[in-house]
Structure 1
Amino acid sequence: MTTLFDRHRLGDLELPNRVVMAPMSRIRAAAMGLATPSMAVYYAQRATAGLIISEGVQPNLVGQSNPGTPGLYTDEQVASWRPVTDAVHANGGRIFAQLMHGGRVSHPDTTGLQPVGPSAVAAAGEVFTPTGPQAPPVPRALETAEVPEQARSYADAARRAVDAGFDGVELHGANGYLISQFLSSNANLRTDAYGGPIAHRIRFAVEAVAATVDAVGAARTAIRLSPGGTFWGVEETEVPELYAALLAELARFDLAYVHLEATTEEEVLVGLRRAWPGTLIVNPVLPMGPKQADRTAADHWLGLGADLISFGRAFIANPDLTERLRTGLPIAPADETTYYQGGDAGYLTYSAYQHTA
């Protein structure tokens, strides 16, 4: 049986294990969306993962969701990321950049711009802004002629990511952000070629992936999806059919991987495993739900056919999570109050397991 500690070929990369560090926003970037020396230390500390996927990185200014997040759309941002990727590689790791366009999940106080989305429908909940949580504004519905530009923004950021030293990119197609909004049946009320029937709702995702593959190659391109997820108020109808159709289109590209979250029934995800011919990463618990991913959940999904398993919150307080999983050491709890507060406390202050005599 496949174990978490077997090797796996991922495109041009040879992964030493099947443990993936999931993307997690930590809100530690500097002004102008620059990566920092602390971010280099943070990711390098976790380089024993088979693969690291970075926090969400905005591909353009209008795509920024939260304050304090990094970008990949200026030369200065590219230069700021190089010490991060160098540090990960120096520690023997591999790192993909997650490209995250927030779409309607944004605010003018953060970007200076009105958010855009598939339709003029506001997100649910509250968005983070420089002055605290606020209600999301109604986004400006993209004109049909504007949609391809936003799809290309992922490809443009992917080129910059490779220039910054990343091994590849993961398009954030999950959790209620822009790609997810186009897949949605309540955030996307369009009547043009990007809305309505399933074949139209998947078009934006497919175009974004196709542009990215053209930019950096299929072996460096991946996508994360949350079938049936309801983050930020999105809803999806015909979930099995929607994602089966999307994966059928994506299968033409021979992507590095598809990354599925456990946001729907297990039988639906197993069906998508059968439908996807390439490498599949599964995040085995609901993101930000009551449970954290653990060895038991990982082994369960490896048995169901997943190739790699992603761990999110467990990596925050356990930079040596891979070794803890390997040897059965305790998983330390993280201080949730430091998730997004900025600074090095709760970011760089967690250590490897301390053995006692």
Structure 2
Amino acid sequence: MTDGKLFCPFDLSGITLANHIVMAPLTRNRAGPGLVPGALATEYYAQRASADLIITEATQVSEQAQGIQNTPGIYTTEQAGWRKVTNAVHARGGRIFVQLWHVGRVSHVDLHDGKAPVAPSAIRAKAKTFVNDGFADVSEPRALELDEIPGIVDSFRRSAANAIEAGFDGVEVHGANGYLLDQFLRETANVRTDAYGGSIENRARLLIEVAAAVADEIGAGRTGIRPSPVSPASGIVPAADEQPQFNHVVEALDALGIAYIHVVEGATGGPRDATPFDYDVLRQRFRNAYIANPDLVERLKAGIPLAQMDMTTLYGGGARGYTDYPASTAFADA
């Protein structure tokens, strides 16, 4: 971990980063009224700015996109409150992308005034979500009508524009972990017979259209995508061979010239090798960056053991387990 290259500057499609360390997105369920990030979020991200590139927690692109309570959005005027976060990170020399999110069927009617969540097909996920201060089975979804799909694409485009207006350096489109764009990719979640279902190309169409719309709006160099080829997260059942599907996806993303793909290897939060998949084949198809503790950078430089996460405070709550992790004694007074 003390290898000097890890701490050398890196050019991410014209955005100069101070090192090769990226903070991956992590949902923490602490958005305030109006799903606006508050003062704690500002402190949380500023503490971690030494990673140089932070990817925020998943952030809704519309009211329809929400699937978990107290998760932030970036589709209203009030949610421009993200500007306080981006200013704080920039003041400490960091860069920050927002992860744009639509959960699709991984939601609950109580988050949508009794209305069903949307999905590629009316297939209920075998999954739970956090709502009403507890975990509950996700609700039965309804299939998106064909004429609704352009609105989904536009919600990502508008949210990307809002992100740049709020001071973000770029966006990462969440195409992983069993959420809407991932659902469209999967034969077990998508049984449509129109232009968005059936073939590999059709099932990838929505993700590619979203990526293209975002890249066109804010620039390909400010756009990243996160896929999870074989993760069974959120009730997804991967096909026996997902390689052709994701080879096509990565080739299409490469043609768009986006800044990076951020691949979940193996199961989300689980084993990396449970399902066979050749990630090197994806690497060969993509020419740009491919990226797989508040004081993480300094700990890595000095070889100091990492602080242990408090799992009981991971989702929701206040400062405990969110912004109160102590700095290591080696540089606490620096």
Q: Does 1:333 align with 2:308?
A: yes
**CA separation in 2, counterparts of 1:186 and 1:253?**
27
SS in 2 for 1:152: helix
Q: Which residue of 1 aligns with 2:285?
A: 275
Measured after TM superposition, the shift of residue 355 of structure 1 is 3.1
Cα distance between partner residues in 2 of 1:99 and 1:325: 29
Aligned twin of 2:136: 134
Contact kept? 2:181, 2:207, Cα under 8 Å: yes
Contact 2:243 2:277 in 1 (8 A): no
Where in structure 2 are the equivalents of 1:313-332 lying within 5 Å? 318-332=293-307
Alignment partner, residue 239 of structure 1: 242
Report the TM-score when normalising by structure 1.
0.87
Question: Distance in 2 between the 1:281 and 1:175 partners?
Answer: 16
- State the shift of 1:267 in Å: 5.7
Cα distance per residue 1:260-318 (max 9 Å; x no partner) = 01126576111111111111111xxxxxxxxxxxxxxxxxxxxxxxxxxxxxxxxxxx2
1:66 is aligned, of 62, 65, 68, to 68
Aligned with 1:157 (options 134, 156, 159): 159
Cα deviations across residues 91-112 of structure 1 (Å, max 9, x unaligned)?
1000000001110011121232
Q: How does 1:1-357 map to 2 (within 5 A)?
A: 3-78=5-80, 80-112=81-113, 113-237=115-239, 238-263=241-266, 265=273, 268-282=278-292, 318-355=293-330
Q: Is the 8 A contact 1:148 1:207 kept in 2?
A: no
Give me the whole-angstrom Cα distance separating, in 1, the residues matched to 2:136 and 2:277. 37
Q: Which runs of 4+ in 1 moved over 6 A?
A: none
Unaligned runs of 5+ in 1: 283-317
Aligned length: 321
Query: How far off its partner does 1:189 sit?
Result: 0.9
Q: What is the TM-score of this pair, normalised by structure 2? A: 0.93
SS in 1 for 2:131: coil
Specify the alignment match of 1:290 in structure 2: none
The answer as to whether partners of 1:62 and 1:114 remain within 8 angstroms in 2 is no
**How far 1:131 sits from its partner (Å)?**
4.2
In structure 2, the gaps of 5 or more residues are: 267-271
Q: Give the SS at the match of 1:261.
A: coil
Q: Kindly tell me: are residues 93 and 160 of structure 1, through their superposed partners in 2, closer, same or farther at Cα, counting changes over 3 Å?
A: same
Whether the 8 Å CA contact 1:183–1:236 is kept in 2: the answer is: no
**Within 1, Cα distance between the matches of 2:277 and 2:136?**
37
Structure 1 residues 43-85: Cα deviation after superposition (integer angstroms, max 9, x where no partner): 000000031000000000010111111100001101x111100
2:97 is paired with a residue whose SS is strand
Letter in 1 for 2:98: A
Identity, in percent, stands at 44
Q: 1-side partners of 2:4 and 2:319: how far apart?
A: 37
- Cα RMSD (Å) of the superposition? 1.6
Query: Which sits farther off after the overlay, 159-168 or 122-131?
Result: 122-131
Distance across 2 between alignment mates of 1:351 and 1:65:
32
User: Aligned with 2:250: secondary structure?
Assistant: helix
1:225-269 deviations in whole A, cap 9, x for unaligned?
Answer: 101111112123331111110111111211111100112657611
Superposed displacement of residue 325, structure 1: 1.1
Letter in 1 for 2:327: A
Per-residue deviation, residues 127-149 of structure 1 (Å, max 9, x unmatched): 11124211111111001111121
Q: Distance in 2 between matches of 1:199 and 1:341?
A: 39
Partner amino acid for 1:92? G
1:269 partner amino acid: Y
**Distance in 1 between residues matched to 2:47 and 2:4, nearest whole Å:** 26
User: Residue 260 of structure 1: SS of its match in structure 2?
Assistant: coil
